[in-house]
Amino acid sequence: MLGYLSIFWFVFITKVSTIQAESKAFFVFGDSLVDNGNNNYLATTARADSPPYGIDYPSHRPTGRFSNGLNIPDIISEKMGWEPTLPYLSPELRGKNLAIGANFASAGVGVLNDTGYQFRLYKLGPRRVLVTGTGPLGCVPAELAQHSRRGECAQELMKAASLFNPQLVKMLTKLNNEFGKDVFIAANTNQMHMDFITNPKQFGFRTSKEACCGQGPYNGLGLCTPLSNLCSNRDEYVFWDPFHPTERANRLIVQQILEGSQKYVYPMNLSAIMAMDSRA
């Protein structure tokens, strides 16, 4: 399954040049939820390089993002006033673009058994690492199409997410205690999603069950292709395809990452962290 099954993390590195001007680099690791085109360069069927993917991207063309438009790293960069990161496999990732950072996400990577060891990245230079939990696994249209009779979420998968996410926070808190500072930030993307899955109309969505692009029950079967059903207004949908949020849903998620309470981002949100770092 693409999307929702793996955690992903954003790494922020603060650097000081010879003239003491501070700059930041942004690195992205994860799966199709944050892939911005790496799979375009790989021999894989997990690709988003054909229409209608990218229909609402500025170029209105597919970019390799599993979205109708921008994904979460794009929006974080936009809100922070940074240049967007390039796929690490892009031939354009050289020269001054290297100083911006890079996106290492690849659709279909999943959660590795050694994920905990990956968090030792701190020793290599990163000063802030934002880590997300799993999303609402049982509520994506792909699961509803296969296991739901009346639009209810698949409880077994929801239970798995409810068990995993608190353990992730516990592990990150332990790592922060070891370093003696809040390096790792836990983003509760499961709760962020559940807010508008449970009450979509409150957030301006028409539906949180049916995908904008797809086929079959809830448009949840197969992939989004030029032959799929396609909604006319993506902003009314939580899900773009059977697995991935629309750009509008991604924007709501980023808003909570930037400004949310400890219910959504622990121990503090990204805006607070960046403000703290700027005064250091």
Token code pair at residue 116: 């905990």
Which range is least confidently modeled, 103-112, 166-175, 225-234, 271-280? 103-112
pLDDT tens digits, 131-142 = 998 889 999 999
Question: Does the annotation count 32 as an active-site position?
Answer: yes
Question: Residue 119 pLDDT > 80, yes or no?
Answer: no
Single pTM value for the model = 0.90
Q: Give yes or no for a contact between 177 and 250, defined as CB atoms under 8 angstroms apart.
A: no
Using the CB atoms, write b or e for 45-57: b if 16+ within 10 Å.
Answer: ebbbeeebbbbbb
pLDDT band at 1 (very low <50, low <70, confident <90, very high): very low
pLDDT at 117: 44
* DSSP 8-state secondary structure symbol assigned to residue 86: P
For the chain, the farthest-separated pair of C-alpha atoms sits apart, in whole angstroms, at 63
Q: How far, in Å, CA of 263 to CA of 260, rounded?
A: 7
The number of C-alpha atoms within 13 Å of 229 and in the hemisphere containing its C-beta is 15
Query: What phi and psi, each to the nearest 5 degrees, are found at residue 192?
Result: -60, -45
pLDDT at 13: 58
pLDDT at 207: 97
pLDDT at 161: 87
**pLDDT, mean of residues 186-196:** 94
Q: Does residue 126 or residue 178 have the better pLDDT?
A: 178
Question: Residue 16 pLDDT > 80, yes or no?
Answer: no
**pLDDT, mean of residues 45-53:** 94
pLDDT at 277: 83
The per-residue pLDDT of the chain, averaged, comes to 87
pLDDT band at 24 (very low <50, low <70, confident <90, very high): confident
47 closest CA partner among 98, 87, 102: 87
Query: What phi and psi, each to the nearest 5 degrees, are found at residue 193?
Result: -65, -45
pLDDT at 112: 47
274: left (phi over 0), alpha (psi -120 to 50) or beta: alpha
CA 94 to chain centre: 25
pLDDT tens digits, 232-270 = 999 999 999 999 999 999 999 999 999 999 999 999 999
pLDDT at 206: 97
- Of the candidates 6, 31, 32, 67, the residue annotated as catalytic is 32
pLDDT at 114: 43
Strands 128-132 and 9-16: antiparallel
Tokens 């063309």 correspond to 61
- Strand ranges of the sheet holding 22-29, from the earlier edge strand across to the other edge: 101-103, 22-29, 9-16, 128-132, 184-187, 265-266
pLDDT band at 125 (very low <50, low <70, confident <90, very high): low
DSSP codes joined into one string, 158-174: HHHHHHHHHHHHHHHHH
Which range is least confidently modeled, 19-23, 122-126, 243-247, 273-277? 19-23
pLDDT at 21: 42
pLDDT at 11: 73
